[in-house]
Structure formats: structure tokens, C-alpha cells
């Protein structure tokens, strides 16, 4: 079901209804500042399993958490002083950070891993959805069977509609995924170059900025 939503001034009633879908264990598609995502409430274990199953996402490739700001990020991931300073310059924006997971992260979405991917998207609809949900949003990017990015809500409805409760439709968005930076060891490692400029982390890293052991 397509639900048209203004990308800059989303209807909060529609967003609240979408959050109720997530709280009820349903899957939802929505726009972000990179491309469309498919998400679930990370604290609904059946929804987490459903998300991984329906998107055929291997357990070795965990989904990411979408957070509203760095304060929320800090509730679910350990952030060193250097990483916090660097992230503060880049969020909200098109970056995914690999960080050590706190015990607050639901184990069902991590498997045996001890790290978590986290994003702070720069999109009014996603931010409103996170606010209405009251927790981070478990997210995977919307792709077709061949792995191509789906950046139009109508295409997502055609491919995924029977598995989703709703698609928040703001029209076509970008078809480029986020830049992924590994900050597990406080030395930034570029995992994937996407929309975000990785030089904020890679070019400006200085070993002298490492936190003391």
C-alpha cells in the first residue's frame, strides 16, 4: 500500500500510523537520504527474523540501525572520543558507522557479531518515523532480485508490496548507498564508498588522536 508523504513536511498522523505498523511487527518501506529502506522494529524479534528472511539477507551481513542523533547512537554503540568528534562533523548524513555494540542492541539482529552498523539519516520522513517509533529503526536498503537499488516507491510496491504493510512514498530518491566507515578499532577503515565523502574520516585521521589504552 502506497502512502504519499511530503518529503520535507511529512504528515505526522501518517508517520504515527506507520510507527504503529512497526510496533505491531510489520515491515515498512520509507525514503532516506540515500535510497529507500525496508525496516522493522528491532525489538520485535519476529519482525527482525521476517526482515532477514524476506530480504534474503545473510546473517553474516547484519542490518543497520537508523538513529535520530548521536545521543541515540551512544545508547546502542560504544563511541571513542575521536570517533565522536569525527562523527559529529558528518551526521546527520549518508554514512553508516561500524561500532562496538552495547548490550542494549537486540541480540537477534547481531547473531554472533559484536559490532553494529549505525546511521543518522538526513531525511525528514525517516527522522519523523524514528521519533514516532521511540527507538532506532532496523534498516536494509531496498533492492530487486538482481541486487539493483530500488529508488522509486512504485517499484518497491511492485517488488515488495505483498510482503510490506505500507510504503511511505515521497517519489524517486537517490540511487546511491551510504559510505560505510569501520570505527571498531578507532582507526577508520573505508568499507564502502558511497554518497558520503570518506575524507572526513580517512584523510583527517591522526594516530595522536587515538584514545589512551
3-state secondary structure 23-48: HCCCCEEEECCCCEEEEECCCCHHHH
Nearest to 35 by CA among 96, 98, 81: 96
Q: Label the pairing between strands 36-40 and 189-192.
A: unpaired
Q: Is the pLDDT of residue 209 over 60?
A: no
Over residues 40-65, mean pLDDT = 87
Cβ contact 123:68 at 8 Å: no
> Which domain covers residue 94, as residue numbers?
2-209
Report the domain count for the chain: 1
- Predicted TM-score (pTM) of the model is 0.91
Residue pLDDT, tens place only, 126-173: 999 999 999 999 999 999 888 899 999 999 999 988 899 999 999 999
Cis peptide preceding 92, ω within 30 of 0: yes
**Domain of residue 126, CATH code:** 3.90.870.10
**Residue 87 CB partners (closer than 8 Å, separation 6+):** 70, 73, 79, 95, 97, 183
What pLDDT does 59 receive?
66
Cβ burial of 196 (10 Å; 0-12, 13-18, 19+) is buried
Reported confidence tier of residue 204, pLDDT bands at 50, 70, 90: low
* Cα dihedral 45/50/51/53 (nearest 10): 130
Amino acid at each position: 500500500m502506497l502512502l504519499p508523504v511530503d518529503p520535507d513536511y511529512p504528515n505526522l498522523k501518517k508517520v504515527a500510523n506507520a510507527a504503529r505498523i512497526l510496533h505491531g511487527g510489520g515491515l515498512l518501506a520509507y525514503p532516506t537520504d540515500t535510497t529507500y529502506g525496508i525496516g522493522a522494529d528491532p525489538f520485535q524479534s519476529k519482525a527482525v527474523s521476517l526482515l532477514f528472511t524476506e530480504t534474503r539477507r545473510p546473517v553474516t551481513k547484519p542490518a543497520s540501525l537508523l538513529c535520530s542523533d548521536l545521543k541515540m547512537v551512544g545508547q546502542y554503540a560504544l563511541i571513542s572520543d575521536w570517533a565522536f568528534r569525527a562523527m559529529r562533523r558528518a551526521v546527520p548524513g549518508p554514512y553508516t558507522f561500524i561500532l562496538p555494540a552495547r548490550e542494549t542492541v537486540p541480540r537477534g539482529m547481531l547473531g554472533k557479531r559484536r559490532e553494529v552498523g549505525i546511521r543518522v539519516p538526513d531525511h525528514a520522513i525517516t527522522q519523523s518515523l524514528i521519533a514516532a517509533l521511540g527507538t532506532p529503526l532496523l534498516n536494509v536498503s531496498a533492492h530487486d532480485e538482481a541486487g539493483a537499488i530500488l529508488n522509486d516507491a512504485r517499484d518497491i510496491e511492485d517488488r515488495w508490496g505483498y510482503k510490506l504493510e505500507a510504503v511511505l512514498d515521497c517519489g524517486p530518491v537517490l540511487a546511491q548507498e551510504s559510505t560505510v566507515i569501520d570505527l571498531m578499532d578507532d582507526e577508520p577503515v573505508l568499507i564502502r564508498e558511497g554518497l558520503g565523502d570518506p575524507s572526513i574520516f580517512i584523510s583527517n585521521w591522526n594516530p595522536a588522536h587515538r584514545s589512551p589504552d
